[in-house]
Structure 1
Amino acid sequence: MNGFAPSRLSLSHEEKLILIEEKSLSDVESESGRVDLDSRYSKPQWMNNVGVYCRSSRLSSWTSTSLRVAIFLLPSFVQHRFSHERARSDRVGPTAYLDGLRGLAALFVFFCHYFYTAFSIADGYGANGGNYIFWKLPFVRLLYSGPSMVCLFFVISGYALSLKPLKQIRSRSFDGFANTMSSFVFRRAFRLFLPTAISTLMVVVLLQLGVYERTRDFASDKHYIRNVVETHPLQAESLKWQLHHWASEMFDFIHVWGWEKFGGSTMYDVHLWTIPVEYRCSMMLFLVLFGLARLRTGVRFFCLAVITWFSLRNDRWEMVLFLAGMALAEMDLIRGVHNQPPPQALTSPVLPLSEKPSHKPRDPKRHLWIALSIPAMYLMSQPDTGTEGVPGWQLLGSLIPEYFSDKYRYWQMWGGILFVFCVARSPPLQRVFTTPVVQYFGRISYALYLMHGPVIHTAGYMVERWAWSVTGTDGAAYTRGFMLASAFNIPLVIWAADVFCRAFDVPTVKFAKWLEGKCSIKE
């Protein structure tokens, strides 16, 4: 029996640490980019027409339901191609690039967790006189550098959660600020924990259906899984005990009273340890916003710098990233990049040639921010196994303070902050992250984070076993088999994230807003 007994419902912190690989990092999604949920994910008119067709054709209820489900399971970008409605405006908001940046980071975190089961990806290029592999070069390794992407996620979260409150602070709208902060605090737990509860409950169902058992031996077979062996969720003796254990894990998952590493991790998906970290940092960020709200701008920045230094000195790198996001948000407000254009600017009236405005002069610093983003990405490329013996990292490694425990995060942290700083000031860099494909990944980023683990451990491992049975595992055949499996697994994970986003992620956001409206005192 591969399951566990009722007496094993609780896991010690030491056991939870064993469940987590040190480099098993993942992302979280901030509340940025949710303003237009209704327009992005409302049911297209052509889908309503399907319901009319089903009724007019007198199809059976089973056939009608099956047709609706089949249409819903189509990826959202496929559904939109069938829509004859007028397309949404191509105008993007001033922070849309952050959504795109978060989306690519989520994709690269998925690549990290997918690739590191088969290949060693944590060490640096040329480490200890070896590892001269193209994919381990600085900049290139960012395509699968999970830890660096976590730094970006936390900076973006700090920025997104601070932006609206800081706008109200700077406009002296303190009543609005109080309402906003009350709403943020109320809804934050729902935003982070409801989707994770649903995704882990799906794992419970798959466990009891025996899906995980079909890949259990494969998940720990070093003939195939040659690098990181991730924890494969355990099957309980009955559905009752599985649900009991799941509820116990979810209770511990809301880990707000301690800051130990991986304290809120759960056996049902080891990648979810960042969610409790995100929640704690969000609450601390809200407290800082409350405390500094009525201070003058210069005093507020001074106090924020002191709090950031205090967080760094206490080895709270995640809090440093959130506070840096807050600082970047206010810097952008001071620069006026979030000011809405006047209504007449949107109409673009035709003027006589003599009255047409001259072209706006280009920012002379535009090349500076692109140039500065290069060392930022280099810092984000810090190897996860340390800098010792890695060409180009000896000096930087010697500058890491002794009190900083997670040495490999140090320069990744500063690189992530500097990169977001540069992108915020460079329209050419922002255009990279506002393309339709990148924005799509931004919309499904949280779902991509939640879905990639369960999909890899079930259907993903099945596909890999089939692929290696075709190519073999000797020498280069191992890599060919992995790439063959990737051709199926990567689209499969993206599709699962797309469906989960529409079925659960977006509805939980709307539910939290609805619940807040029902519970709040009406003014």
Structure 2
Amino acid sequence: MDRIQWIDGLRGIAALIVTSNHFICGEIKAPFRSFWAQPSEANRRIFQLPPFRLLWSMDAMVPLFMVMSSYTISHRLLKVRDNSAPDKLIDCLRSSILRRPIRLFLPVVALASCTQLLFYFGLYEGHVEERVATHIKPWASPCAHVRYLCEYVTDLLNIFCLQWNIGLNGHLWTMPLELRGSYLIYFTIFVQAVWRPRARLWCLGLMLSYLLWYGHWHTFCFLAGLGMAEVRVFRGQNTIIPPRWTADYVLRLAVALYILCLSAEDDYPPDYRFLRMFETEHWSRYDGWRDVRKTWHSIGAVLFFSVVLESPRLQRLLATRIPQSLGRLSFPMYLIHLSIFYMCSWSMRSNVWWLLKRCEYPASEEEDQYVGSLITVYVLSGGILLAVIMSMANVYIWLLDPQFARITRLFEMRLSQKSHQN
């Protein structure tokens, strides 16, 4: 079975978790709190416990995306390195370095441009308009929208000093990290191309230890993906772990799921406080608790991916029809879902609530009294919007993605000399 299939399935499930969480985060808060959070009468619900809380762990999916992306890129390049002439690896790296930003940012620029048009015509909901009211307004100066769009795109392209310009597409903050991590992989593979296999593994191990010590979680995720690809190549592509190690898998899987379920609160919840003794002083030096939580999520993502990488059963499960369908749509679903929510989520939720309850939508302070009803409303309205998102993602795959691939190839061909085109 092709390992890319199960990676696509895992990516699709992660994209679905992010999409569904973006629909409810900020509106219904109970799923994002720990089981032991206070006050007790507003918590102590089974969906707040691991592993059920994995369904609400959108923050943990970002490191998992990075590990999957890193492993996929590394696996392809390492096969070229070990099975081809050295010049072939150089050509492949050269092509990847050029094509990667184009393939990543062409869809992003198209989405950001469409977002500005939709916002200009007043199709976004009021709370979104208030967020950027000091910069742009519907039906205002078109030049202000063009300037805002240009500033947003240039901020996204800054991979050296991240700008964190969330704009109208807050989920795309991962794109400069993705590009920077990809370039780090290309550079590391190029430098280590002529090294002995054990020297590569030792160097990567030291680099990962250094990054983990300082809490550079995003770089740690990318190099961890490369490290697991190198280990896979070193052991042999078709290595099957003996059954006696099943207990090790179960333990690693349990630890990984537990860490991935670390909730998005302002500090360690009571059932995670013992982890404080394992963090270094550098983890919280720059961005406080956010970096601490991301570092733990990165460790959980690497552990989880390592388990799936060595488990044929989990790979077969991820290669089934539903995960594969989600995997095929994962990138466009991730791109467009927030725009759909910004235009339709509030009206859809309030209308479904009225149909079920025949009363006004509850205020935020009344949420804990209606958790069951709110979940029902979110499932129904979210299911409708998810169908819309998937339909649009299918259109993207069918219509736009081939065009973006063609533009990328044409751009590369225009820049390349004839010998390298061949």
Using the size of structure 1 for normalisation, the TM-score is: 0.71
The CA deviation at 1:275 is 0.6
How many angstroms does 1:417 deviate by? 0.4
Unaligned residue ranges in structure 2 (runs of 5+): 285-290, 363-368
The alpha-carbon deviation at position 198 of structure 1 amounts to 0.8
Match of 2:257 among 367, 377, 383: 377
Q: Distance in 2 between matches of 1:361 and 1:418?
A: 16
Which amino acid in 1 is paired with 2:176?
A: P
Matched to 1:107, the amino acid is L
Distance 2:105 2:9 in 1: 23
Matching of residue 185 in structure 1 with residue 64 in structure 2: no
Is the counterpart of residue 235 in structure 1 residue 137 in structure 2? yes
**Rounded Cα–Cα distance in structure 2 between residues aligned with 1:387 and 1:208:** 39
Select 2:68's aligned residue among 156, 167, 186: 156
Hey, what does 1:459 align to over in structure 2? 344
| Pair 240,129 (structure 1): closer, same or farther in 2 beyond 3 Å | closer
Once residues 279 and 17 of structure 2 are traced to their aligned partners in structure 1, the CA distance between those partners, rounded to angstroms, is 26
Residue 15 of structure 2 corresponds to residue 106 of structure 1 = yes
Taking the aligned partners of 2:389 and 2:173, their CA distance within structure 1 comes to 20
Contact 2:67 2:225 in 1 (8 A): yes
Counterparts in 2 of 1:372 and 1:361: CA distance versus 1, 3 Å: closer
Within the alignment, does 1:210 sit opposite 2:113 as a pair? no
Q: Is the 8 A contact 1:99 1:442 kept in 2?
A: yes
Pairs within 5 Å for 1:491-510: 491-510=387-406
> Are 1:145 and 2:41 counterparts?
no
Distance 2:199 2:110 in 1: 43
Q: Given that residues 468 and 482 in structure 1 are in contact (C-alpha distance below 8 angstroms), is that contact kept between their aligned partners in structure 2?
A: no
- In structure 1, the partner of 2:297 is 412
Alpha-carbon offset, residue 478 of structure 1? 4.2
For the pair 1:199 / 2:111, whether they are aligned, the reply is yes
Structure-2 separation of matches of 1:273 and 1:139: 27
| Partner residue of 1:300 out of 200, 203, 206 | 200
CA 1:129–1:268: 2 relative to 1, 3 Å:
closer
TM-superposed CA distance for 1:447, in Å, is 0.6
- Structure 1 segment 87-486 matched on structure 2, within 5 A: 92-120=1-29, 121-128=31-38, 130=40, 131-171=43-83, 173-212=85-124, 215-216=125-126, 234-235=136-137, 237-259=140-162, 263-337=163-237, 363-366=243-246, 368-385=248-265, 388-391=268-271, 393-405=272-284, 406-470=291-355, 471=357, 472=359, 473-474=361-362, 475-476=369-370, 477-486=373-382
Aligned residue runs from structure 1 range 27-38, under 5 A: none
Question: What RMSD over aligned residues (CA atoms) do the two structures have, in Å?
Answer: 2.5
Q: In 2, distance between residues paired with 1:362 and 1:312?
A: 30
Q: Which ranges of 4 or more aligned residues in structure 1 deviate by more than 6 Å?
A: 229-233
1:520 to 410, 416, 419: 416
Instruction: Quote the offset at 1:151 in angstroms.
Output: 1.2
Identical-residue share of aligned pairs (%): 25
Tell me what 2:366 maps to.
none
The question of whether the paired residues in 2 share the 8 Å contact of 1:128 and 1:389 is answered with: no
- In structure 1, the gaps of 5 or more residues are 1-91, 221-228, 340-359
Aligned-residue offset at 1:436: 1.3
Larger Rg: 1
Residue pair 2:263, 2:269 contacting (<8 A) in 1 also: no
Cα deviation, 1:439-462, whole Å, max 9, x if unaligned, reads: 111111111111110000012333
Partner SS, residue 404 of structure 1: coil
Deviation at 1:335, TM superposition (A): 3.1
After the TM superposition, which of the residue ranges 493-502 and 402-411 deviates more from structure 2? 493-502
CA distance in 2, matches of 1:286, 1:148: 25
- Partners in 2 of 1:504 and 1:515 — Cα distance? 17
Task: Report the 3-state secondary structure (helix = DSSP H, G, I; strand = E; otherwise coil) of the residue aligned with 2:160.
Answer: coil
1:320 positional shift = 0.4
